[in-house]
Structure 1
């Protein structure tokens, strides 16, 4: 009886958890430029940091079952290109090995902005990161406020926001 009661409580707790809003796959695919990045461990996303990514192209296929991402990272001031196709895991997260183990999720998408949240485990520490990308070269004030709200919800200090587009001199 105790097991049955415990199972019922677990089901109710899980059902009460906020489920992320469904992502519209038609808004995900396109050319995206990273505008902002924020992390609870800022050294990972500063210029020259291992998680400072410059997005270029994101494609969603099979209702976002697969996510293809093309981006650059600078090593010693030189742009290195990466292109990965990720398969969605349980809970709507994607797994990628890059500067450690990363579980990433699209947490917001609109006509102009797309925000990723990911957790990076480099073997010593877990770093929470958001990346805000746009179809253009900037966010509106409202889009920036939304980005700040998403950081706050995930415990990432808004004073750790880096303006990534200012250092993006990698090829288009």
Structure 2
């Protein structure tokens, strides 16, 4: 498994060196939402798939030597709030352990859009995928075209693009419960409830959110 992933990582690092993306690291940190995802193995990113993530925040640590990524993952009706730390290997290629081992590269970032390219090795096969993130809850037509172009450049089929934001029912903002039974609306208009004792969000339609909130 290590040999396979090292080969994968070396290939990704080599590709990044050959066609380096013009990345402004100051634009990476912030609040982000997953708008689209695409993969050559579509089963990984369909609703309920292990790599269908709902981003909330990216933070740079030590001048982006590490990326702290906060996101939601749906698991059998439960929204899990997770924070994973990815270590940089070369350029803007990072390694992160999640549902296997992943080489993650930031391939585009602007004031309102960020795109990652990921090669995931789950012990059996390598999945190539991209995630298109936005500061808001949608892409402009130009941003969508840019995302599709990046997919084509990386060999990720555009016909496998998933509209992730359309199923994003997790809270738009994260905070600890401070007022008992305080009702709030997330960015999609869904109603959530903050429970003071357990300090978590609970979706009134039945999707319980677990994990640390802030």
4+ residue segments displaced more than 6 Å: none
Range moving further from structure 2, 158-167 or 21-30: 21-30
- Secondary structure of the corresponding residue to residue 49 of structure 1: coil
The corresponding residue for 2:184 is: none
Q: RCO higher in 1 or 2 (8 Å CA, sep ≥ 6)?
A: 1
CA distance in 2, matches of 1:91, 1:106: 9
The corresponding residue for 1:11 is: none
Matches within 5 A, 1:87-98: 87-98=87-98
The corresponding residue for 2:19 is: 19
Q: Does 1:77 align with 2:77?
A: yes
The corresponding residue for 1:115 is: 115
CA distance in 2, matches of 1:51, 1:85: 16
Unaligned runs of 5+ in 2: 1-13, 173-214
- Secondary structure of the corresponding residue to residue 146 of structure 2: helix
Q: Does 1:36 align with 2:29?
A: no
Sort the Cα spacing of 1:93 and 1:36 in 2 relative to 1 into closer, same or farther, 3 A. Answer: same
For this pair of structures, how many residues does the alignment match? 157
- Secondary structure of the corresponding residue to residue 64 of structure 2: coil
TM-score of the aligned structures, taking structure 1 as reference length: 0.87
CA distance in 1, matches of 2:123, 2:31: 32
Structure number with higher helix proportion: 1
CA distance in 1, matches of 2:57, 2:158: 26
Matches within 5 A, 1:1-172: 18-172=18-172
Q: 8 Å contact 2:87–2:96 — kept in the other structure?
A: no
CA distance in 1, matches of 2:96, 2:61: 17
- Distance apart, 1:91 and its partner CA: 4.4
Range moving further from structure 2, 17-26 or 52-61: 17-26
CA distance in 1, matches of 2:60, 2:148: 25
CA distance in 2, matches of 1:22, 1:140: 21
CA distance in 2, matches of 1:35, 1:141: 13
- Distance apart, 1:111 and its partner CA: 0.7
TM-score of the aligned structures, taking structure 2 as reference length: 0.70
